Amino acid sequence: MVAKLKGNYGSGIEALTYAGQNYMLVNRSLIPEILQVLRNEEQFDFCVDITAVHYPQRENQFDVLWILYSFARNERIRVKTQIRDGESVPSSVPIWTGANWLEREVYDMFGIKFDGHPDMKRILLPDGWKGHPLRKDYGILQQDNEWVQINLGIESGQ
């Protein structure tokens, strides 16, 4: 499968394995096409999860991951791409409807925007919150004191 994809898209794809689990590293520019192909031609019809990892030391700070599953092949695959801070990723809601909330959560936690998402706003944190908690530069005790004071009327939530 990967060989075929490689043939079509060239060097933008790198297939890797860790602990018996397959994943591929894909160029940011190839993402929409690859996901579409995986969904339509390779039968990865179930988008299990979308998430991200933050590496502040790298130039491409974020890993964005799609964890996909195919019912027909009973197989999982992870698609991974690296993006810079502030860069956006094309939304996969048109491909898997269920990606909606998952992408919102990634935006909420990392501040990564998804282009073409129907309703790109925070999901777990309140709308006016400042900061994205799962970034490595966001401290574990940190909070948006201003928001807490205005909306909850208390000095601090801690």
Partner 1 sequence: MTDPNSSLSNLDLETPEKPFLDANELVINMGPQHPATHGVLRVILRLDGEKVLGLECVIGYLHRGVEKIGEHRTYTMFNPYVDRMDYVAAVSNGLGYCETVEKLLNVEAPPRAQHVRVILTELNRIASHQLWLGTHALDIGAITPLFYTFRDREEILKIYEKYCGARLTTHAFRIGGLQYETYTGFEQEVKNFLQFFRPKIDEYEELLTTNRIWVERTKNVGIISGKDCIALGVTGPVLRASGVKWDLRKAQPYANYKNFDFDIPIGENGDTYDRYLVRMAEMRQSVRIIQQAVEALPEGPIMAKVPKVMKPAAGEVYHSIEAPKGELGYFIVSDGSTQPYRVRVRPPSFVNLQALDVMCRGQLVADVIAVIGTLDIVLGEVDR
Stretch of 5-13, 84-92, 117-125, 147-155 contacting partner 1, by CB under 8 A: 117-125
Near partner 1 in 127-156, by CB under 8 A: 133-134, 138, 140
Is 120 one of the binding residues for partner 1 (CB under 8 A)? no
Is 83 one of the binding residues for partner 1 (CB under 8 A)? no
Residues 37-66 as x/- pattern, contact with partner 1 by CB under 8 A: ---x----xxxxx-x-xx----------x-
* DSSP one-letter string for the chain: -HHHHHHHHGGGEEEEEETTEEEEEE-GGGHHHHHHHHHHTS---EEEEEEEEE-TTSSS-EEEEEEEEETTTTEEEEEEEEE-TT--EE--TTT-TTHHHHHHHHHHHH---EET-TT-S-SSS-TT--S-TTSTTS-TT---HHHHHHHH-SS---
Is 33 one of the binding residues for partner 1 (CB under 8 A)? no
State which of residues 35, 91, 100, 117 lies at the interface with partner 1 (CB under 8 A): 100
